[in-house]
């Protein structure tokens, strides 16, 4: 898989500068065949692009920011993506666009940013010096003296850089406003030539008898045309707060039970020497913006899990696991932008406790008496969706068909089984058994008398 990804990246480097869509030529093997098949269908180009983008997105449960970065920074954007341009004086066709915020994730139509990354901006402009002869001139010459362009990139009004790919870090405000500003200044000069009258012919007495005009330099005029344009992008700062706790709750006959609790994660991996459990809350896809196919990661809620040689019972953010070999235990948590790897505390101090009931069979609404040993140990008891904490002794009202009582101390759990039935059912069963018993007695009596009668006849 890694080798395949490297090939794709190399191909992108070669082909993307001229790309305006997802190109099948940057794929190989089976991916190339599938991509070509999609291109040959009668689907709209938008539907084709949607399907092909999924081919480029290899790992659906982890955002591939490296791929997005490689793609976006290799795009060749020569014209204004939204068609808007601005002019001032000799400046024309000027535009600026924030292309991408990297890394970033779109979730529920909200763009989330990490507290550090890069903002990608692109811009362009043209200029055209005036032409023709100015009023009153016999000749006019125009020449550019200087042109300066300055890109200013801001976050919430704070200047962070001047590059098309500007880095930022240590963001701490919830709402982020990125602004890219382009300041253009073009200075040019205008050389004016005017006709100057001079005597072209004198008589013998030195008196001018004919005049002519000569086009000669008159003065130089300097002009500066300026233009400031900007583009903005808003996003939310993603707050990362990965937390977890791990505890072994029981050990018996080479099997270990434990509890992993985690919060504020999107992906979770609990791994041991020969076992692994993976859980993901999202699937990720490529969101693209036309006409240049600028990419952003899109996250959609979709739970998925994978496991190998481990049993896991998930209850909200609690993962109760059972595994044989706990060696090389590791916890990996990640969210949209960050990850955390933790080791496991495999120590276990077992508390020997047990619960028992005054009997095994109950009728609906009977009182169940629960006895706890050892004495004075606080135990959490759960029965029929009712949870209490008790020491030594507790009571529950029997609920029809609820046949388990759970006891827990520090995530160590014990259970006791009971039977709860309807009293009407028991009465009916008792009457039926009574009838069957009477019938059986009658049968035995009849059989004995019949046997005596047959012997008497003989």
CATH number, position 274: 2.60.40.10
Q: Indicate whether 266 and 378 sit together in one domain.
A: no
Look at residue 31 and tell me whether its pLDDT is greater than 70.
Answer: no
- What pLDDT score does 427 carry? 56
Domain count for the chain? 4
If one compares 289 and 380, the residue with the highest pLDDT of the two is 380
Q: Indicate whether 362 and 435 sit together in one domain.
A: no
Tell me the average pLDDT across 430-451: 68
DSSP 75: -
Tell me the average pLDDT across 395-412: 88
- pLDDT-derived band of residue 204, with 50, 70 and 90 as boundaries? confident
Q: Indicate whether 259 and 359 sit together in one domain.
A: no
Q: Indicate whether 134 and 208 sit together in one domain.
A: yes
Tell me the average pLDDT across 151-174: 95
In a domain, residue 21? The reply is: no
Q: Which helix (H) or strand (E) holds 394?
A: strand 393-397
In a domain, residue 225? The reply is: yes
Q: Indicate whether 194 and 65 sit together in one domain.
A: yes
- What pLDDT score does 52 carry? 65
In a domain, residue 4? The reply is: no
Cβ-based neighbours of 80, under 8 Å, separated by 6 or more: 95, 97, 124
Q: Indicate whether 82 and 230 sit together in one domain.
A: yes
The per-residue b/e assignment along 31-52, b for 16 or more CB within 10 angstroms, e otherwise, is beebbeebbeeeeeeeebbbbb
In a domain, residue 23? The reply is: no
Cβ atoms of 237 and 173 within 8 Å: the answer is yes
- What pLDDT score does 206 carry? 85
Q: Indicate whether 399 and 440 sit together in one domain.
A: no
- What pLDDT score does 37 carry? 64
3-state secondary structure of 164: coil
**Predicted model pTM:** 0.68
In a domain, residue 127? The reply is: yes
In a domain, residue 28? The reply is: no
Q: Indicate whether 112 and 132 sit together in one domain.
A: yes
- Please give the residue range of the domain that contains residue 381: 354-421
Q: Indicate whether 85 and 99 sit together in one domain.
A: yes
If one compares 453 and 290, the residue with the highest pLDDT of the two is 290
Q: Indicate whether 331 and 429 sit together in one domain.
A: no
In a domain, residue 7? The reply is: no
Q: Indicate whether 109 and 208 sit together in one domain.
A: yes
| Dihedral of alpha carbons 436, 437, 438, 443, sign | positive
Tell me the average pLDDT across 78-89: 93
Cβ atoms of 421 and 364 within 8 Å: the answer is yes
- What pLDDT score does 56 carry? 63
Look at residue 245 and tell me whether its pLDDT is greater than 90.
Answer: yes
Look at residue 10 and tell me whether its pLDDT is greater than 50.
Answer: no
Q: Indicate whether 128 and 169 sit together in one domain.
A: yes
Tell me the average pLDDT across 285-312: 90
In a domain, residue 24? The reply is: no
Look at residue 456 and tell me whether its pLDDT is greater than 80.
Answer: no
Look at residue 209 and tell me whether its pLDDT is greater than 90.
Answer: no
């Amino acid at each position: 898989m890694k080798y395949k990804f490297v090939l794709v990246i190399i191909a992108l480097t070669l082909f993307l500068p001229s790309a305006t869509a997802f190109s099948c030529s940057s794929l190989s093997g089976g991916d190339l065949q599938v991509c070509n098949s999609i291109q040959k269908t009668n689907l709209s180009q938008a539907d084709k692009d949607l399907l092909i983008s999924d081919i480029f997105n290899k790992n659906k449960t982890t955002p591939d920011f490296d791929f997005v970065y490689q793609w976006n920074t290799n795009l060749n954007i020569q014209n204004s993506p939204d068609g808007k341009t601005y002019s001032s004086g000799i400046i024309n066709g000027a535009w600026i666009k924030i292309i991408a915020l990297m890394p970033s994730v779109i979730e529920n139509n909200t763009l989330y940013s990490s507290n550090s990354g890069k903002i990608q901006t692109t811009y362009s402009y043209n200029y055209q010096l005036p032409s023709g002869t100015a009023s009153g001139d016999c000749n006019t010459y125009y020449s550019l003296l200087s042109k300066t362009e300055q890109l200013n990139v801001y976050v919430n009004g704070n200047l962070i850089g001047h590059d098309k790919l500007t880095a930022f870090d240590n963001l701490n405000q919830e709402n982020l406003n990125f602004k890219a500003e382009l300041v253009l200044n073009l200075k040019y000069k205008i050389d004016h030539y005017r006709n100057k009258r001079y005597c072209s012919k004198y008589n013998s007495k030195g008196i001018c008898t004919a005049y002519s005009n000569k086009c000669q330099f008159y003065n130089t005029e300097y002009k500066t045309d300026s233009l400031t344009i900007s583009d903005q992008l808003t996003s939310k700062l993603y707050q990362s707060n990965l937390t977890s706790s791990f505890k072994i709750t029981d050990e018996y006959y080479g099997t270990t039970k434990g509890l992993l609790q985690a919060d504020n994660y999107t992906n979770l991996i609990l791994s041991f020497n020969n076992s692994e459990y993976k859980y993901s809350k999202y699937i990720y896809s490529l969101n693209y913006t036309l006409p240049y196919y600028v990419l952003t990661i899109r996250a959609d809620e979709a739970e998925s899990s994978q496991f190998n040689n481990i049993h896991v019972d998930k209850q909200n953010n609690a993962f109760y696991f059972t595994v044989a070999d706990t060696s090389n235990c590791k916890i990996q948590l990640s969210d949209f932008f960050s990850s955390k790897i933790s080791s496991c505390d495999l120590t276990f101090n077992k508390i020997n406790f047990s619960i028992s009931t005054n009997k095994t069979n109950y009728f609906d609404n009977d009182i169940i008496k629960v006895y706890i040993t050892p004495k004075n140990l606080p135990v959490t008891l759960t029965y029929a969706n009712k949870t209490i904490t008790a020491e030594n002794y507790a009571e529950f009202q029997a609920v029809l068909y609820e046949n388990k009582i759970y006891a827990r101390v520090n995530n160590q759990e014990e259970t006791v089984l009971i039977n709860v039935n309807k009293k009407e059912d028991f009465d009916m069963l008792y009457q039926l058994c009574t009838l069957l018993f009477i019938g059986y007695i009658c049968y035995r009596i009849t059989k004995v008398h019949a046997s005596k009668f047959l012997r008497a006849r003989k």
